[in-house]
Amino acid sequence: MNFKKRSLILWIPLAAYLVFLALASLGLNRDQQTVVQSRMIGKPVPPLDLPAAASSRPTLSTKEMADGKPRLLNIFASWCVPCIAEAPVLMQLAQQGVPIDGVAIRDARADVDNFLTRHGNPYQRIGLDERSALQFYMGSSGVPETFVVDGKGVIRYQHIGVIGPQDVEMILEKLREAQS
């Protein structure tokens, strides 16, 4: 009996090793998550008052976002190169009647003005966030990023990275979902 027990123990290393192999092969074939998802989905937008980032648009108070209509909250910056690629897509969405609010991260008013002149201005309001505060409140981890906020001011969806032409349908669908 003692002998039997011992020989079972001897198989433990192999068993542990097989667990490792299984984990490794699963891990190898997974889609690697390279971004951190916000945990704020389903929660209200944190109340923040941001000064105006552009001469031509009013300040952004996130409390005002709960006006009964779903809208996009786009995090961008004049220094952000991918944001330039995103700009025409946002313009297209704005032309289709989607309300978009913007937050310029670590930016300066003159630079934002310049950026909007060159790449278009799809925003209704633009808040200036000199120290990424809104990003930390929203659980955002980079620029650009876009949140879908429903009419009650609740965050419904987070899109990390550039919204490309291929994402427009999906974003519109998310906005429709937020309507209900």
Partner 1 sequence: MIAEAGLAALWLAATLAGLQLLLAWAAVAQGNAQAARFIRPLAVAQGALAGLAMVALIILFLISDMSVYLVAANSHSMKPFIYKFAGAWGNHEGSMLLWIAVMSVAGAAVALFERSLDRATHFATLGAQAAISLGFYAFLLLASNPFQRLNPPAAEGQGLNPLLQDPGLAFHPPTLYFGYVGLSVAFSFAVGALLTRQVNARFARAIRPWVLGAWVLLTFGIAAGSYWAYYELGWGGWWFWDPVENASLMPWLAATALLHSASVLAARDALRAWTIMLAVVAFAMSMIGTFLVRSGILTSVHAFAVDPTRGSFILILLGLYIGGALALFAMRVHTVNEGARFDPLSREALLVVNNLLLCVILGLVLIGTLYPLLTEMLGQSVSVGPPYFNAVIGPVTLVLMAALVVGPLLRWRRDEPKAAIWRTAPAILAGLLTLVAVLVFADRPVGWLPLFGLVMAAAVAVASIAPLWKRNLLRTPLFTYGMVLAHLGCAVSLAGMASETAFSSERLAAAAPGDSFEISGYTVTLDQVRPFAGPNWTAMEAVLLIHRDGKLIGTARPQARYFTDPPTPTNESVQLTRWNGQLYLVLGEALENGRWQLRIWWKPFVTLIWGGAGLIALGGVLALIGRVRRERKQARKAASVDAPLGHPQEALA
Partner 2 sequence: MRRLVILLLLATTPDPALAQTALPPAPYANRQLEDPALEAKATALMHTIRCLTCQSQSIADSDASMAADLRSIIRERIAAGEDPEAIRAWLIERYGDWISYKPTADPILWPLWAAPVLLLGAGGALAYGRMRRRKGGQA
Binding residues vs partner 2 (CB under 8 A): 34, 36-40, 77, 79-82, 105-108, 111, 130-133, 135-139, 141-143
Residue 80 Cβ, how far from partner 1 at the closest point, in Å? 15
Residue 14 Cβ, how far from partner 1 at the closest point, in Å? 4
Contact 167, 89 (CB under 8 A): yes
Bridge partners of residue 120, in order along the sequence: none
SS3 content of the chain, % helix, strand, coil (to 5): 45, 20, 35
The residue type found at 54 is: A
Residues binding partner 1: what is the number (CB under 8 A)? 24
What's the first-to-final CA gap in the chain, in angstroms? 67
Q: Which is nearer to partner 1, 110 or 172 (CB)?
A: 110
Does position 25 bind partner 1 by CB under 8 A? Answer: yes
Residue 12 Cβ, how far from partner 1 at the closest point, in Å? 9
Choose among partner 2, partner 1, none what residue 143 binds, the Cβ cut-off being 5 to 8 Å by kind.
partner 2
For the chain, the residue count is 180
Does position 6 bind partner 1 by CB under 8 A? Answer: yes
* 3-state SS class at 145: strand
Per CB under 8 A, the list member of 1, 2, 5, 29 interacting with partner 1 is 29
Residue 68 Cβ, how far from partner 2 at the closest point, in Å? 26
Does position 169 bind partner 1 by CB under 8 A? Answer: no
Residue 116 Cβ, how far from partner 1 at the closest point, in Å? 25
Report the 10 Å Cβ neighbour count for 68.
8
- Could you tell me whether strands 100-105 and 155-160 are parallel, antiparallel, or unpaired per DSSP bridges? unpaired
Residues 6+ apart with CB under 8 A from 62: 45, 46, 47, 48, 49, 50, 134, 153
List of residues contacting partner 1 (CB under 8 A): 3, 6-7, 10-11, 13-14, 17-18, 20-21, 23-30, 32-34, 36-37
